[in-house]
Amino acid sequence: MNDVTVPDLRGKLAVVTGASNGIGLGLAQRLARAGADLILPVRDAAKGAAVLEQIMAATPQAKVSIRDLDLASLASVDGLADALQADGRPINLLINNAGVMAPATRHTTVDGYELQFGTNYLGHVALTGRLMPLLQAGQARVTTITSSAARSGRINWDDLQSERRYSPVRAYNLSKLGNLLFALELERRSAANGWGIVSNAAHPGTTLTNLYASGPNLGRSRPAPFEAIVKRLARWGVFVHSVDAGMLPPLYAATSPQARGGLLYGPDGLGQFTGGPTELAIYKSARSEADAARLWEISERLTGGAFASA
């Protein structure tokens, strides 16, 4: 496993979504060790308290704040953004990491959007947009977590919310393609408008986290097979790696002085399942700047003009 050397982050403020477990927790632990001040927005207060205890036990000098955030609620996103704006501290690093994967049946967010599109994609668009003044003040790097599933993502402009036809995997692929398109478009718009923000994307490969259980088990009376399959592959050491390994490409994208905006980072192994961090070719599905701009404009409307202050 090729480790990542994280620069000294003392005095820097980092916001990481989805840090209650998995990749997000691993990233938060490494950022704390590097001296960053952390804001960890979580949906479950009990999990947030446990994460705080875990990070402080490993890094007693860490400065960590747990905040409330449900990415499936635009009102919750607004609430967090308002609180951080009131604090007034510039944000130097934002990692859009939280997500849900492949519920068996179609679920919706508080605002009526398909759960994966609304949580993985729209929630992070809204959060990034609402935090723009603080991100600009901090000359921030924004790293948005996508997935190799974005390669198979397809945009049905007439059915973005999967109302006519729902497929767990297709909806997930779309949400992760949206994440990648957003990261690339944010970099283009920052460069064009002088926002001073660096935006890139990363994916962790196939990593053994509870993502493979929590989402697929929604709407099911019996456990989905995803988790058992991934655990078996992990035991065999085939196509699956640990959180410690999977977090390295996102960690590199978010912190390395060599990582640049407008690029995608992920594992360098066969099929991008496992491996050390490397720059990847942008997937064919995400190369259309016209699609990225169109999705951005639609997302602005769906989130109530998240980037109005940019």
Catalytic positions, please?
172
Residue 42, sorted as left (phi over 0), alpha (psi -120 to 50) or beta, turns out to be beta
Nearest to 169 by CA among 250, 100, 98: 100
55 contact partners, CB below 8 Å, separation of at least 6: 28, 29, 32, 38, 62, 64
Q: Two tokens at 68?
A: 């409330």
Question: Rounded CA gap, 95 and 14, in Å?
Answer: 8
Question: Rounded CA gap, 39 and 67, in Å?
Answer: 7
Nearest to 201 by CA among 252, 241, 239, 276: 252
Question: Rounded CA gap, 171 and 192, in Å?
Answer: 31
What end-to-end distance do the CA atoms of the chain give, in Å?
39
Question: Rounded CA gap, 202 and 263, in Å?
Answer: 8
Question: Rounded CA gap, 35 and 230, in Å?
Answer: 33
